[in-house]
């Protein structure tokens, strides 16, 4: 692991957000989210980043009727389709967070998680059109899912701001997530097994950390080291 020097100021950085609802038809199963669904997802995002130095401002909800985008982005590797969607709809520069909600089919081959994915900040310079977070459209509070009720958006925004998984590398040794105060973790967490310790180094697995794969019900925090890393990554690549 590697330390991240504390930034000079913890004053709130306001990140403008554009939420793109991509849909195949005007039903929930077709991806059509209400303004309340989006607001609930956004409110949870804001809550997850309290006391981090970051706050978010929802600038606009934009809706895009495109069954091809909704159904095919995020599965296998249809990059031309994804590029078309993001190039056609993305708003702002490196400091603006664009979120797209799509189907992200269960047959996804590209991603470890079927719930969402994000682009790291250091990739903006070479791939500005693809910058942002792509979410499964059902990721919002009150969706009825037993284990995923919306906090995946907090997790993906953490990636967008430069965080790796707490279990990065699936190893007890090495730099892993480049943050000193997240204990070493040998593999992703499933459920909420508090006290689980998969590595010999001090500290149990960070079950409650947003950058783990624990159930939403036990995800509650970023560490000070993660907060410093996000602020430094933002200042280096997005400010």
pLDDT for 3 equals: 46
Q: Are 61 and 41 in contact (CB under 8 A)?
A: no
Q: What is the pLDDT of residues 154-177, one digit of tens each?
A: 999 999 999 999 999 999 998 899
Q: 7 falls in which pLDDT band (50, 70, 90)?
A: very low
In the chain, what are the domains? 13-146 (3.40.390.10)
Q: Is the pLDDT assigned to residue 110 strictly greater than 60?
A: no
CB within 8 Å of 225: residues ≥ 6 apart: 3, 4, 179, 180, 181, 182
pLDDT at 11: 63
State residue 116's pLDDT score: 94
Please give the sequence-ordered ranges of beta strands (E in DSSP) within 46-175, or none if there are none: 54-65, 97-102, 116-118, 133-136
pLDDT digit string (tens) for 82-108? Answer: 999 999 999 999 999 999 999 987 544
pLDDT 10s digits, 112-136: 457 999 999 999 999 999 999 999 9
φ, ψ of residue 58 in degrees (nearest 5)? -75, 105
pLDDT tens figures, 176-230? 999 999 999 999 999 999 999 999 999 999 999 999 999 999 999 999 999 999 9
Helix axes 152-160, 35-48, angle to 10 degrees: 60
Contact predicate 115/10, CB 8 Å: no
54-75 tens-digit pLDDT: 999 999 999 999 999 999 998 7
- The CA-based angle 35-62-14, given to 5 degrees, is 85
Indicate which residues carry an active-site annotation: 156
Q: What is the mean pLDDT of residues 225-237?
A: 98
pLDDT band at 78 (very low <50, low <70, confident <90, very high): low
| CA gap 21, 33 in Å, rounded | 7
Res. 111: pLDDT tops 50:
no
């Amino acid at each position: 692991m590697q330390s991240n020097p504390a930034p000079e100021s913890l004053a709130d950085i306001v990140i403008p957000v554009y939420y793109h609802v991509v849909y195949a038809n005007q039903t929930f199963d077709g991806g059509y989210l209400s303004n309340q669904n989006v607001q609930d997802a956004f409110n949870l995002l804001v809550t997850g980043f309290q006391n981090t130095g970051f706050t978010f401002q929802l600038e606009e909800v934009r809706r895009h009727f495109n069954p091809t985008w909704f159904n095919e982005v995020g599965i296998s590797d249809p990059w031309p389709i994804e590029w078309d969607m993001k190039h056609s709809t993305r708003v702002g520069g490196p400091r603006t967070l664009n979120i797209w909600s799509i189907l992200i089919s269960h047959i996804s081959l590209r991603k470890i998680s079927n719930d969402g994915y994000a682009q790291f900040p250091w990739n903006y310079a070479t791939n500005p059109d693809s910058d942002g977070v792509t979410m499964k459209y059902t990721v919002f509070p009150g969706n009825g899912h037993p284990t995923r009720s919306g906090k995946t958006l907090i997790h993906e925004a953490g990636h967008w701001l430069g965080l790796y998984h707490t279990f990065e590398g699936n190893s007890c040794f090495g730099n892993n997530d480049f943050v000193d105060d997240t204990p070493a973790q040998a593999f992703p967490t499933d459920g909420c097994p508090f006290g689980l310790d998969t590595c010999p180094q001090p500290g149990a697995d960070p079950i409650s950390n947003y950058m783990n794969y624990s159930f939403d019900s036990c995800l509650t925090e970023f560490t000070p080291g993660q907060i410093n890393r996000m602020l430094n990554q933002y200042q280096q690549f997005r400010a």
